[in-house]
Amino acid sequence: MAIDRLERVNALLRREIGEALYKVFADGSLDLAAVTITQVRASRNLRNATVSVSVFGHEGERVAIIRRLAGKARELQSFINRDLTLKYTPRLRFDLDDSVEKGDHILDVLSHLDTNGEADGVT
């Protein structure tokens, strides 16, 4: 499978998983406003896919949220299978993506450095 096609499949899976979350967790048992699918990396044979999930807030509940998503992986796969025509429906594996939090921390540090530099009269 060409790399470009695999990237398009990853983007399509990311969008479909994001939409399927609202169908699977329609009962409101999960705060979907805090959950973002940041990336999907499917294997070249489309048998497996790793879904990177960012959870905003809920610091103490992040691992539990990932477990709940993993527990509903089969239902999510069935929605993907129903909506997409792929040779194989990938088996989903969920990972916590903390890159957004790391980026926020770096921006916070940089803003503090900038504020301290202005207070010292350094421009």
20 found inside a domain:
yes
The domain that contains 17 carries what CATH number? 3.30.300.20
Domain that holds residue 85: 3-97
Instruction: For residue 93, give the nearest of 39, 19, 36, 16 by alpha carbon.
Output: 39
36 found inside a domain:
yes
Q: Domain count of the chain?
A: 1
What is the average pLDDT across 38-42?
93
Q: How confident is the model at residue 109 (pLDDT cuts 50, 70, 90)?
A: confident
Model pLDDT, residue 100? 72
116 found inside a domain:
no
| pLDDT at residue 110 greater than cutoff 90 | no
| pLDDT at residue 123 greater than cutoff 60 | no
Rounded to two decimals, the pTM is 0.76
The two tokens of residue 63 are 């691992």
Model pLDDT, residue 120? 55
Q: Rounded to an integer, what distance in angstroms lies between the CA atom of residue 21 and that of residue 100? A: 20
Got the DSSP string for 12-55? HHHHHHHHHHHHHTTTS-S-GGGEEEEEEEE-TTSSEEEEEEEE
